[in-house]
Amino acid sequence: MKGPRRLETERLLLRRPIVSDAQAIFERYAGDPVATRYMSWATHRTVADTYAFLTWSEADWELWPAGSYLIFSRETEGLLLGGTGLAFRTPVSAVTGYVLAQDAWGQGFATESLRAMVELARRTGVKRLEAVCHAEHRASAHVLEKCGFRCEGTWHAHTEFPNLSPGVRADVLSYFMRFGA
């Protein structure tokens, strides 16, 4: 089943990105060195980097049941809070993650949007949903655990965090969730 373009939760609207979102994505989080500190992709230097992400996102959505989503506040309609999504590896296996603009931290939005991604994964036929976070990123690990992910261990020297330590592979905590039998 193809995932919907729009999803609603109690406080959030999540929708598939479109090209005209580029400037807002860049300004709200993708170009912010603080918000992107623990990302596995480099902070966007110009909005051209954000357009490149949107081109990739469009192609990904065409290939798979779902892809990236932008997170908006329902209360202040139009205010972009962050990004999340499902990156499919196979039709039954996907990876999720999230990034929020700094002024959106500490209000439970990561937890609320991750729960929406878990439900979306279930509905689109995913059997194993994965997420990794930097071994020292306690807030993110806590969000994953609150949403029912299980930690299967630490992967040593696994992922480069280019905004934290370029060229170095850092330890990550590997989380997963299984659906169905």
**Closer residue to ligand COA (CB): 138 or 178:** 138
Q: CB 146 → ligand COA: shortest distance, Å?
A: 6
CB-CB neighbours of 33 under 10 Å: 9
Q: Which is nearer to ligand COA, 8 or 136 (CB)?
A: 136
Task: Give the closest residue to 140 by CA, choosing from 171, 170, 111, 107.
Answer: 111
Residues found near ligand COA in the complex (CB under 6 A): 35, 38, 97-100, 105-111, 133, 137-140, 142-143
The one-letter amino acid at 146: K
Residues 4 and 13 sit within 8 Å (Cβ to Cβ): no
> From the CB of 12, what's the least distance to ligand COA, in Å?
11
Nearer to ligand COA, 16 or 137 (CB): 137
Distance CA 30, CA 39 (A): 10
- The SS3 assignment for 51 reads helix
CB of 33 to ligand COA, least distance (A): 11
Minimum distance, C-beta of residue 148 to ligand COA, in the bound complex (Å): 14
